[in-house]
Chain A
Amino acid sequence: MSYLPYAVAAWLFVVGLYGIVTSRNMVHLVICLAVLQSSTYVLLLAIGYRTGAAAPIFADIPVGTPAVDPVVQALMLTDIVVEVAVVALILALVVQVHKRHGVIDPDKLRDLKG
């Protein structure tokens, strides 16, 4: 019964956002994006948590035992897959940008044309 996990989620979100805004290296930027997205994991798990309840695995506990919400945990799994997809794609873009322009500082990327 506390708001602490929400505070952690908010902190991760804000810290990741700050990192993205002030980043001077695109690889660093991608990692900050991953930190930002991990706030959603904490938020999802916090929403589905029930004090004193078991994990939603009924291999060795009887059905009917109070358990936490499995739906948000499954959503979190989707979240992780999306993050992998996003990070892989952006890193590939960073590799291409570095190959073509020789810089990975987003501010120095002036000669990028549409």
Chain B
Amino acid sequence: MTLFLGSAVALAILLACSFAALPPTGDYRGPYGDLVNAVTVPERNVTDTVTAVNFDIRGFDTLGEEFILFVSVMGVLLLLRPQGNEPRRRHEDREQGRPAVPISDAVRVTALLLLPVVVLFGIYVVTHGQLTPGGGFQGGVILATAPLFLYLAGEFGNFRKAVPRTLVHIAEAVGGGGYAAIGLACLGAGAAFLQNVLPLGSKGTILSGGTIPLINASVGLEVTGGLVLGLMVYLEETLELKEE
């Protein structure tokens, strides 16, 4: 208890000191934000500066960010892989010792109705990332919820049939490698790695921003693939455990 109180007081003092040294909220001083805000629209024909920062100005960092996600999905796959000494069980979605609860028609219909809407919305968010808030990461997460609706609407067996694992693997790999390939293509064009070499298009259109929409799409593919893959192994693992 003494240890806890002592550490708590020390932490409180440290936090108070550090926050007191920061400028108060609303009193923004740094030059970088203003610089990016002034430069993005004239130099990149892109209206969403956050996307421009992520996929162009700070594009190299985002490549690393994307690979963080990629590696973490690989780690999850490795940790939850089926192991030789485990008995294989049937994939059935029910609590142990209880009869399976039938899925209600309301859930089925709602999930199936929402499925196309979610897919469309995800694609919209990915493709309009350089115009309005959104982009590959956000849209990819929305797209990855689509298989979840499919899972809610039916049995797990149907889910596995409808979402072919190889396809998800390919999406993940193409998305992850695509970003790096775009960077290398920029090198091939005689520019720096991930330098925006493509024509910028006209402001406010879906293809504006040169390499930004391409990178956006590749990140969207990678995030969708990665999250769906993670979701699949988690579902398989937990449904298996329930069967024990």
Contacts and interface: CB of A to CB of B under 8 A. Distances in A.
Interface of A: 1-7, 10, 13-14, 17, 21, 46-51, 53, 55-59, 63-64, 67-74, 77-78, 80-82, 84-86, 88-89, 91-93, 95-96, 98-99
A85 B131 contact: no
A85 B72 contact: yes
A91 B30 CA distance: 38
**Size bracket, chain B contacts:** 35 or more
B237 A95 contact: yes
B230 interface: yes
A78 B62 contact: yes
B80 A95 contact: yes
Interface of A is mostly: helix
B107 interface: no
Interface string B26-40: 111010111011101
A4 B227 CA distance: 35
A74 B53 contact: yes
Contacts of B22: 6, 47
Contacts of B11: 14, 17
Contacts of A82: 65, 68
B65 A81 contact: yes
Contacts of B69: 81, 84-85
Contacts of B137: 77, 80-81
B47 A59 contact: yes
A68 B225 CA distance: 33
Given A2-B24, A68-B33, A77-B50, A58 B41 contact: yes
Contact of B49 (A53, A56, A78, A91): A56
